[in-house]
Structure formats: C-alpha cells, structure tokens
Structure 1
Amino acid sequence: MISVNGGVCAASGFMAASAAAGIRKKGREDMALLFSKEPCKVAGTFTSNVVKAAPVQWDKKIVASGNDVHAVVVNSGIANACTGKEGLDACLQLARSVAYQFGNEISEDSVLVASTGVIGMQLPVEKMQDAISEMVLKLSDGEENATLASKAIMTTDTVNKEFAVEFELSGKKVHLGGMTKGSGMIHPRMCTMLCFLTTDVAISKELLQKALSADITDTYNMISVDGDTSTNDTCVILSNGTAGNEEITEENEDFKTFCEALHQVNSTLATRMAADGEGASHLFTAKVVGAKSKEEARTLARAVVSSTLTKAAIYGKDANWGRILCAMGYSGAEFDPEKVDLYFVNDIGKIALYKQGVPLDFDEDFALEILSYQEVTALIEMNEGSETATAWGCDLTHEYVDINAEYRT
C-alpha cells in the first residue's frame, strides 16, 4: 500500500472542479463538484447533533434509499443550517441543477449536497447555479482540480487536506482517496467535519457502509478541537467499481485490505484536521495503552484531548500533568489511578511524569523542550489490560478566541 497524489481524483473515473460563486470574499473559490460518470454505491455517517443542517437531511435520505450516486456539490461560507423549508428547497434546486447540466442523464436523487460556514443564513441559490454550470465545464480528473476542490471547501482551515493510497485487490491496482475540511466546531460525536472519500474498488453497499461506520470510531470520532459538534458533519464514501477487482461481497481478505486502506486515509486526514485546529500551535495526541477495554481506552483518550485546562497547558508549554489525570478521572471510565504511568513523548525524547500513583521528579527544562515541539503525545499506560486507543487534538490559544469572536462579522 503506497500513498499517491490525486486526492479525490486518484481513483479512476472521478473528476473534480471548483468555482467562485460569490458566497465568500470576491474571487475566492467557495464551491466544489465531484463527479463519476459510472454510478457509485454510497455510504455515509452524519452528525449526532439534534439540530441537523438541510444538506445533512438531504444526504441521509439518499444514503438510506440505496440510490446510486453520481455527484457531490459542496459550498463553503454558509452552512444552510436552521434555514427551514427554504434550506431544504435549496438542496433540491442545487441537486436538480447538477442533473440538468448533464442533460438529465442523472437524477437529482443521485446528487449529494454539502455545506459549511455560518449557521442561519440562506444560500444564494442563483449564484450557486451559475457556479455549477461553470464547474461542469471545468471537470477534470487531474491532480490540480482535486487540490483546488479541497481548497474551495475550506472555512477557517489554514491548509487544505487531501490524501490517497494505491493498493492491490485480486491482482488489480485499486485506489482510495479523500478530502476533508475541519478546523473549528470539531468534537468526536460523528463525524466532526466534512469528508468526501472516493474509491474505484468494487464493493457491496452493505460492506462499504460497514467499513466506514467501523473506521470512523477510531479516526474522526477520536479528534477534538473545541468540544463543539457541528450541525453539518458529513462523511461519505463513493465507490464506482471501475478498478476491475472481483467485487467484495463478504468479509474476506480483500475486505480486510480495503479496511486497512480506508483506515490509513481516514487516520491521516483526521490527524491533519486536529493539527489545523483554529489557532493551534501544537498537535496534541493522547495514546492510551493497557486499558481493560477498547471503549475505556477511547473514553480516556478523548477526555484528555478535549480537556480545556490540558489544552491550555500544552499551549503554555507547561508540564502540568495533573490536568491529564483529572480529565481521566471525570471521563466516566473506571480505572485504578495507582496503576497509571504517564509520560510526555515526541521526536525529541520521552519524559516520565507519574508512575503507579506517585508523582516523579523530572527535568523541567527537558519537559519544556519537549512541549516546545509542534507535536507532543501524552502516553498513558493503564497497566490493567491490553486495549489501546489514540485521540488527536490541539492546544487552546488566544487566536482561537479571536477567530470565533468575529467569525460571523
């Protein structure tokens, strides 16, 4: 399995385009279109927030229907959330516009819609329809188009996020790639961002959904920037089956390999989102090992990266390990604190902070050196079992407050 360029266009048969619809700053591209001429099986996971944006409602219905999908149209700048019937009508109009541009060779029910941005504003549908016309003419399977599409869906992100892999199934080269956006309003309750995945692997819809639903548990559900779960969270994967592999219809070795590829793409994109948290200066990772159960390990790791006090300490380069133990203690997991070992670790080195219920003397200067590095991991050894989990977050900076104090204005 190797990483390759091309993002959402790495898989054969997929094309992308982007355009400036005038939703955001003049001249800034703020819409993207993904398209496959061949019909795609689709699987998806969506926000657990009770307040669900119109495009989430639209996409959930299509995924549940079992319809094949040909296209995804995405905008940034306006979330189309809390917009009532007008917001739902906008989804229909946009999907219908995409279908119309292809001479109605595809149906409106085969077009997914996604939005990200400010809540409570209506979409400028006519401007977006003009942009759709432009994007259909610009569709290409080139790397540049894939990258431009990944940039068009950004909001407060500072970098675009795309990744793809190539691997073999039944003697055929196959591909899986994706793009995500996510920087703020990120918290692990499925699925905490927008994510669009494409693959040319032939696989049944049922197993596609099973693979995606299982993998988000240890990837996108394990990141946290600020504790807020968005109204628009969407993760979809489209499979057009053009690679020519024998269709995966059972949980065999090919399915296992596909799941490994999916995990590599998702974990890479999840880490990049955590590192690009609004105002972040550190990627902060919590790795729990030796837990009694997988769910306990996940609960503990998520609690640590979500702790406001711990995130502030990481920003201040303060080895205040007591905040980590405190977060573990209120997480809801049952464990014996007198069995826990705690370390900070990264490429610079490893420093022991707490062992078997006893605080350790440590070199504060060396701890400062470790915490001054852009990436730092809290390694938490529970010494109660064999299960492991990793969560990703970032520090909490003054810039985060500045960004969100004036996000709408």
Structure 2
Amino acid sequence: MAIQRPKGTQDLLPGVVEKWQDLEQQIRKICREYGYEEIRTPMFEATELFQRGVGETTDIVNKEMYSFLDKGDRSVTLRPEGTASVCRAYVENKLYGGPQPVKLYYMGPMFRYERPQAGRFRQFHQFGVEVLGADKPIVDAEVITLVWDLYNRLGLKGLEVHVNSVGCPTCRAEHRTKLQEFLAPRREQLCKDCQDRFERNPMRILDCKNPTCQEITQGAPTTLDTLCLECSEHFQELQELLTAAGVRYKVDPRLVRGLDYYRKTAFEVLVEDIGAQSAICGGGRYDGLVQEVGGPQTPGIGFAMGMERVLNAIYASGQVTERAPKEFVMFIALGEAAQKKAFSLVSQLRSKGISASIDLLGRSLKSQLKTADKAQAHYAAILGEDELTRQVVILRDLALGEQLEVPITDVLDDLMRKWEEEV
C-alpha cells in the first residue's frame, strides 16, 4: 500500500501554492509599510518554554503539543504558536538592549495535535506580529489596525473586531474571586475541563464553547466589571484610537482568549464566512511574558492568524482569481543538434531573468506545441534541422497565432525586447 501523508497535514501543490505566495506577498508588503521586520525562530523549542510561556492550564499545553525526548534525553516540542518563541529570541539575543519598541513579524508552520476539521490542521501556518517594549494604547491600536488593513486589502467583507480588556494581575484577582463565587453553586454541572479550570484559571470558563457552560456563565461577572483605573483608562483610549482609525469594532466582555499570558487588551477579528461569523485572527497584550521566559519586565502585544483559515475566507468571499502558470517563451527543438542550440539559448535567456523553458522529453512538434499552449506560453520558439541549417528560429505568438522567422543571431535580442515590453 502506498504511503500517505500524516493525518491533519496537507500537500500544497502547484496551482494552490501560488495563492499562498500571493497572500505572503501581501503580508510582507504591509509589514514593510508599518515598519515591522521579519524574525524566524526554530520549529522546535525546549518544552519548558511553552509550559511557562503559553501556560500549563491551556488546552495547547495540556492536550495538543507534539513533545518528545531527543537523543540527549531533553524534552523538546514542535512549536504550537509563535509568541513564546519570539519572546525567547528577544531575551536570548538581548534585543531589549537596542532601540525600543522592537516590531517583528513571522510566518511559518505550527503544530498542534487536535482533531482535524475544515480550515484546521495538525500542521498549520500562522502569520503573526509582536511589538515588544511599549505599553501605550496606541501600540495596541496599531497592531489591530495592521490586521484590519490587511484583511481589507485582501477584499474580505463583513469584518468586525471584537475587543475586551482582561485586566492586570491586580484587578484580575478581584474578578477571579467574584467569578468563583458566581459559579460555585453550579460547579458540578460544568464540563470536566471547566471543573479543572475552576481553581486553576476560572476566567477561561467564559471562553468555553460547551453549550451547558455557556448557559451557566450567562450573567457571570466579566473582567470589565472589575477593571482598575489604569486598565479602564487604557481600554477607553484604545477604543478612541480605533474609532479614529476607522476600525469597526465591538466591545465583547466575554472575550478572554485561550492563552494564560494575556493582560489588558484582548481581541479577535471576525468575518462573515458562508453566512456565519468566524474568528480569523486573535491577539492581545502580554506584559508579563518576557519576564516569564527569563527576561526583564517588558510590555508586549501581538496577534496571530491561521493562514489556512484566511485563505478559506478569501475563497468564500469570491476574491480569489485563478492565476495559471504562464511561460514567456517555450523552445521547441527537434533533433539532437537543434536541442543543444535551443538549450544554449534558453540558458542565456534565463541568465537575464527571462522566463524560458525547453521540452525535456524529446516529444513530437505537435506534442510540444500542445504543452506550450497548456502552459499558456506567450511565444513558442521552433528550431528544427531545417531552421538550424538556415540559421533561423520560427517565433510563434501563441495568443495571436502569428509567426515569423528570426535569425538565430537576433532571437535573443528580439525576445528580450518583447519581454521588456510585456513586463
């Protein structure tokens, strides 16, 4: 039996990968415009990084990480998210010693052992940004505006940002007490995960998708009910800045996000997706995370988006245009001597940055012309024994069906001129 790819993974084939490249290009462009620089971290890290950084009460750490012992008996984990790795790199490379804030972005594969479903994989790809070293609300607003701007450029409709403040350790302690008091009479009716969260991290119960837990938490105290003055002023200024930037947002008091490191601002971006609303981005402020992984006290904020989910939303919105691969010129060589000469011409064109190809299977003229047509080549350059004897190349415009003979000595200059006109 043929070996198949692991469950929860996918092959990105030609015809699909070009759409990924288009998205990546848009991401890199907007990050340059906003002044963010790319960072690339290892695909696996010490397991302790995610235990301390993501939080031991999270589903990611408890259920979803790919962790194993390496040959040195060290526990390592395929990265399930990007923020903890970026913070570790910020500390290890002493980026805190340079100009602040440090504005970074990343793209790459992440790994979580979870039930595969539409738009969700065990190996998936994330784009994220992180700003380290600044704690003002304007930083939060810039991060949210960046992703809002990106989605609008991608043509997504029905966008809405949901924002909340989950407070700081001071006001969170008050919320924890009030929430536990509210939930205590019905604690046994909560799902098993939420019963575990009751003592360890009760705020996460508000984020549970179990219908029974959602019903039980109706009317529960929210973090907005217990914000201290500093957190309240921070959240109010953020809203004013989002309004000034034209970002459509909604305050969602139940939004707490699924990771332990969030403080103050938490947000998600939702988009209409085949008649329903779906979150395609999430993020927030994590002012204690750098310290948690061994660095100095440093404020931070960021977001991550699953690129598969965003591409699904683009498909659903009808914004994807089919982009077929297109050759500029395909050389059709008939006979060994002609093939050698054609290969030399193709090599010279490629060295000039011009898209050129040549048949590699020694097929007939008819078959090679069909291949050129299927590849949507602009020109076919035909060189057979007769043309080689007469030192000419037949240059056929496949779109117009017109052709002419060009001296071999002039064909490179002629094609280069046509390429410049087309580009």
Give TM-score, length-normalised by structure 1: 0.25
**Higher RCO structure, 1 or 2 (CA under 8 Å, sep 6+):** 1
Larger fraction in strand: 1
User: Larger C-alpha radius of gyration, 1 or 2?
Assistant: 2
Give TM-score, length-normalised by structure 2: 0.25
